[in-house]
Amino acid sequence: MRRAPLVERWRLGPSRAAGATLRAVTDSQKVQQVWETPSLEEIPVLTKAHVQAMESSDDDLIWVQAGMHHVLLTTVGRRSGTAHKVALPTWRDPDGHRIVVASFAGAPGHPSWYLNLQDRSANPEVRCRIQGGEYWSVPEILDGDDYQRTWDLLCADRAWYNDYQAKTERRIPLVRLPETRR
């Protein structure tokens, strides 16, 4: 089977690439993985393109990929001191807070955005751009029972995160991004 070019697969998402029409976003967060997970080499390319698109449009086609809402997260580099942006899918916990997953598709190491976010001196709070607005957040790295409860609920909706966890020895971090200030 011939695959669409990388950025085209990202832009269209699985439902658009298959010729289906966009469906209205519902309260359900359950998503079936019908796409091939990008390689670790492809992820930065896709992310760069997605960030550029998110900065130029509030269109659903950009902000809701594969049925998942996204956030444009800005962190400060823990070594460079410069701003870094990453597009991440979000999932809402039972209290309605956005959760992002530092899975990096099950890579052995944590993604850079997470390492930056962990450094509280560089990132006491982070900027979160969402479709139609933005806010500042004091991120919460989940641990203990809160982590396990959230992980179980997340994976009930997005089972592929279990596959990513099985590929790595590290525990995949979950980060809550509460709206601290506008």
Q: Which two tokens stand for residue 123?
A: 């990132």
Give the pLDDT confidence score for residue 26 in this predicted structure: 37
Closest CA to 43 of 104, 2, 114: 104
pLDDT, tens digit, 9 for 90 and up, residues 34-70: 566 667 788 778 889 889 999 999 999 999 888 889 9
Q: Is the pLDDT of residue 2 over 90?
A: no
| pLDDT above 90 as % of the chain | 63
In eight-state DSSP terms, residue 167 is T
Give the pLDDT confidence score for residue 143 in this predicted structure: 97
Q: What is the mean pLDDT of residues 81-107?
A: 94
| Region of poorest pLDDT, from 41-55, 76-90, 104-118 | 41-55
Domain ranges (residues) in the chain: 6-16+36-177
d(CA 63, CA 17): 16
Cβ neighbours of residue 19 closer than 8 Å, sequence gap 6 or more? none
CA angle (13 as vertex; 115, 147 as ends), nearest 5: 35
Residue matched to tokens 């990388």: 6
pLDDT, tens digit, 9 for 90 and up, residues 129-153: 999 999 999 999 999 999 999 999 9
Give the pLDDT confidence score for residue 88 in this predicted structure: 95
Residue scoring higher pLDDT (37 or 120): 120
- Residues 97, 178: contact at Cβ < 8 Å? yes
Q: Is the pTM of this model over 0.85?
A: no
Give the pLDDT confidence score for residue 29 in this predicted structure: 78
Give the pLDDT confidence score for residue 35 in this predicted structure: 60
DSSP string covering 79-141: TT--EEEEEEE-EE-TTS-EEEE--GGG-SS--HHHHHHH-TTT-SSEEEEETTEEEEE--EE
d(CA 160, CA 157): 9
Provide the β-strand partners of residue 66: none
Of the pLDDT bands very low, low, confident and very high (cuts 50, 70, 90), residue 113 is very high
- Coil vs helix vs strand at 27: coil
Give the pLDDT confidence score for residue 32 in this predicted structure: 65
- Residues 78, 119: contact at Cβ < 8 Å? yes
Give the pLDDT confidence score for residue 30 in this predicted structure: 73
- Residues 90, 66: contact at Cβ < 8 Å? no
Domain 6-16+36-177: CATH class, spelled out: mainly beta
